[in-house]
């Protein structure tokens, strides 16, 4: 299996976990909790796959190109999160706590996988 495919599958793990938890919330909790958790899961997935795209894009172009891509993408990510949070604030059926919790879980799990990825790169060299 290709190394990038393996890391893509590993990065999909937090997304799958959050989808399973969202399904649980859909069956057992009120609708605002489900919508909040699902939207946090979706935003987390977008951030995770955007990070993966950054790494693929910049992996062959060097450190300076990676820093430029990460800088611009950080600005994009902040604007994207602000739009989602401010947009969800105007809906009655949106639980901000569950949104934040889901997003935090997604990003924390993805960060662990990112650290493992960078560690494997440094061990390779």
- Per residue of the chain (125 residues), what is the pLDDT tens digit? 677 788 788 888 888 888 888 888 888 877 777 888 888 888 888 888 887 887 777 666 766 777 777 778 778 878 887 887 777 666 666 778 888 888 888 888 888 887 777 777 666 65
Residue 117 corresponds to which tokens in the numbers above? 């990825």
What is the pTM assigned to this prediction?
A: 0.74
Q: Please state the domain extents for the chain.
A: 31-106
């Amino acid at each position: 299996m290709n190394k990038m495919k393996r890391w893509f599958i590993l990065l999909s793990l937090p997304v799958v976990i959050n989808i399973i938890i969202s399904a649980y919330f859909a069956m057992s909790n009120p609708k605002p909790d489900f919508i909040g958790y699902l939207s946090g899961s979706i935003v987390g997935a977008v951030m995770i796959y955007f990070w993966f795209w950054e790494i693929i894009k910049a992996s062959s172009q060097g450190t300076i190109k990676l820093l430029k891509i990460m800088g611009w993408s950080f600005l994009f990510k902040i604007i994207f999160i602000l739009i989602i949070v401010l947009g969800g604030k105007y809906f009655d059926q949106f639980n901000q706590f569950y949104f934040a919790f889901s997003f935090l879980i997604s990003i924390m799990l993805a960060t662990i996988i990112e650290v493992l990825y960078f560690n494997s790169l440094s061990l390779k060299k």
